[in-house]
Amino acid sequence: MRILIVYANSYRMLPPAPLGASLVASRLRQDGHEVRLLDLMFAREPAAEAARVALEFRPDLIGYSLRNVDSQSYTQLYDPTPTYQEIVTAVRANWPATTLLGGTAFTTFPVQYLEVLQADYGIAGDDLEPISRFVASLAAGQPNHATPGLVYRDEMGVQCNPFLIRGYPDVAFDGWDFIDYRPYRRSFTGFWDAGVVTRTGCPFECVFCDTFHTFGKQWVLRDPRQVAEELVTLRRKHGVRTVFLADAGFNRPLDHAKAVLEAIIQTNPGIGLTSVFEPGEVDAEFAQLYRRAGGRGVMIFAMSLSEPVLAACRKPFQLSNVFEGADTLRRAGLSNYLYLTFGGPGETPVTVEETLSHAPQIRSIYTLFDHGYRIQPRTALHEIALAEGAIPPEHSCFRAVFYHSPETPPAMLDDRLKRYQAEHRWDNLRNLPSFAQMLWDKLRP
């Protein structure tokens, strides 16, 4: 079959290259199909570009990779669904091929996306094998409706088969040639060219997070040597200079993170690394290994710096862990970005002040403030919101809705955060050298 994979994501804040889409494209190419990947991240007119390429390529099947449901930000909400609709509609008008949806966003809301985009099929989950088998059945003219994760229509309506979550323990990410990394390098909204996965899944149960649904409840670890070799390939064959370790807390589990860093040091790809740091599991050895492996900085998604809020959100760390972790990294010469979100369960005016009083002590390059937690189905936060009457029982949460604790409504948080930022507007001047170094790492010849 001739297959066009369309990476429909165009939200450019910390833009992620189409890692999952390239993995699917590579697998289908190995199956003998003629595959092309269209990345719309930096397209000026995504719908027109997709329609043009579809008419030029004339595929039998068009797969749409839907990564983001939305930006997950109350204060800077971006909903990509209208853009997705424009892309699919424009392509269908020019080249009406069979459509197949996939990606993390689709796994979260499979029925809604199938209906909104009027697609023929979708496959939820992260397992490549069902995709391979289903596309083969399409090529044979007999679509296999028993495929795990398949979402389709029959005379009874939309049907959803249970999907599989495997992670990538034995999967080689070898679809790098499908991606043009140059626009990612030139973008000033992100500090990396590409992403690499070292493990998937998460055993923790933070009230707002649905990673357990989209990536599984347990860590699935990849071979550290394979990760290191992928970095070598990215640097030497594709010119990548900076990489984001795309894991929800790279340093957990700590032993595996150290093994990955040791493998990177041994292969010496010469790539700058950025990752999300999960407080509560770090030591001086990790920090030194991270720096030697090319680590430039970390993003600390602490969410709050108040003990009661951390406990109510079921975060797997305490306030002291945030301070200790940031200090350990700083002593190794590593900088951090701090992300704080106000208004979660347990938030009160007192806990807001606690967090604001503690924030300068982290000594971050930059602190990003937001408020409101995006309510995801199947999460504990969804149950809390229902119990408090914040959302009605029939609300699917497909369209973004945000939780604010009863004591910290949006208007109150808007006012307090604006006053705080006005009072601390010059704080980031001391970080100009760090910003300059990050930009040099990204843009150097």
Q: What is the 3-state secondary structure (H, E, C) of the chain?
A: CEEEEEECCCCCCCCCCCHHHHHHHHHHHHCCCEEEEEECCCCCCHHHHHHHHHHHHCCCEEEEECCCCCCCCCCCCCCCHHHHHHHHHHHHHHCCCEEEEECHHHHHCHHHHHHHCCCCEEECCCCHHHHHHHHHHHHCCCCCCCCCCEEEEECCEEEECCCCCCCCCCCCCCCHHHCCCHHHHHCCCCCCCEEECCEECCCCCCCCCCHHHHCCCCCEECCHHHHHHHHHHHHHHHCCCEEEECCCCCCCCHHHHHHHHHHHHHHCCCCEEEEEECCCCCCHHHHHHHHHCCEEEEEEEEECCCHHHHHHCCCCCCHHHHHHHHHHHHHCCCEEEEEEEECCCCCCHHHHHHHHHHHHHHCCCEEEEEECEECCCCCHHHHHHHHCCCCCCCCCCCCCCEECCCCCCHHHHHHHHHHHHHHCCCHHHHHHHHHHHHHHHHHCC
Structural contact between residues 187 and 42, judged by C-beta atoms closer than 8 angstroms? yes
Residues of the chain with CATH 3.40.50.280: 2-160
445 pLDDT exceeds 70? no
Of the pLDDT bands very low, low, confident and very high (cuts 50, 70, 90), residue 9 is very high
What is this structure's pTM?
0.94
382 pLDDT exceeds 90? yes
Looking at 109-113, 362-366, 435-439, which range is the least confident one? 435-439
Of the pLDDT bands very low, low, confident and very high (cuts 50, 70, 90), residue 13 is confident
Task: Give me the mean pLDDT over the 199-216 stretch.
Answer: 95
Of the pLDDT bands very low, low, confident and very high (cuts 50, 70, 90), residue 392 is very high
Q: What's the pLDDT at 111?
A: 97
Angstrom distance (rounded) from CA 65 to CA 46: 14
- Supply 217's token pair: 């409840």
Backbone angles phi and psi of 150, in degrees to 5:
-70, 135
Q: What's the pLDDT at 150?
A: 98
Angstrom distance (rounded) from CA 145 to CA 342: 44
Q: What's the pLDDT at 191?
A: 78
Q: What's the pLDDT at 366?
A: 86
437 pLDDT exceeds 90? no
429 pLDDT exceeds 60? no
325 pLDDT exceeds 80? yes
Task: Give me the mean pLDDT over the 389-403 stretch.
Answer: 96
425 pLDDT exceeds 90? no
Task: Give me the mean pLDDT over the 309-320 stretch.
Answer: 97
What percentage of residues in the chain have a pLDDT greater than 90?
A: 89
Q: Is it true that domain 2-160 has CATH number 3.40.50.11740?
A: no
357 pLDDT exceeds 60? yes
The tens digit of pLDDT for each residue in 121-168 reads 999 999 999 999 999 999 999 999 999 999 999 999 999 999 999 999
The tens digit of pLDDT for each residue in 32-65 reads 999 999 999 999 999 999 999 999 999 999 999 9
Beta bridge partners of 337: 299, 366
Angstrom distance (rounded) from CA 179 to CA 156: 40
Q: What value does the mean pLDDT of the chain take?
A: 94
Which positions ≥6 away from 85 have C-beta within 8 Å?
A: 116, 117
434 pLDDT exceeds 80? no
Of the pLDDT bands very low, low, confident and very high (cuts 50, 70, 90), residue 387 is very high
Backbone angles phi and psi of 259, in degrees to 5:
-65, -40
Residue 177 C-beta-side C-alpha neighbours within 13 Å: 7
Q: What's the pLDDT at 133?
A: 97
Angstrom distance (rounded) from CA 50 to CA 36: 12
Q: What's the pLDDT at 52?
A: 98
Own/partner pairs for 167-171, CB < 8 Å, 24+ apart? 167/126, 167/199, 167/200, 167/201, 167/215, 167/216, 167/220, 167/222, 168/23, 168/126, 168/197, 168/200, 168/220, 168/222, 169/220, 169/221, 169/222, 169/223, 171/23, 171/128
Q: Is it true that domain 191-443 has CATH number 3.40.640.10?
A: no
Residues of the chain with CATH 3.80.30.20: 191-443
Angstrom distance (rounded) from CA 78 to CA 71: 5
Q: Residue type at 119?
A: A
Q: What's the pLDDT at 444?
A: 62
The tens digit of pLDDT for each residue in 283-308 reads 999 999 999 999 988 999 999 999 99
Phi-psi region of 303 (alpha: psi -120 to 50; beta: other; left: phi over 0): left
240 pLDDT exceeds 70? yes
- Supply 192's token pair: 């990396």
Q: In angstroms, what CA-CA distances link 193 with 1, 37, 239, 361? A: 31, 17, 9, 31
Task: Give me the mean pLDDT over the 378-386 stretch.
Answer: 97
Structural contact between residues 31 and 192, judged by C-beta atoms closer than 8 angstroms? no
Q: What's the pLDDT at 187?
A: 84
My answer on whether omega of the bond before 360 falls inside 30° of 0, hence cis, is no
Task: Give me the mean pLDDT over the 62-77 stretch.
Answer: 95
Q: Among 121, 73, 68, which Cα is nearest to 97's? A: 121
Count CB neighbours of 383 within 10 A.
Answer: 12
Task: Give me the mean pLDDT over the 394-420 stretch.
Answer: 97
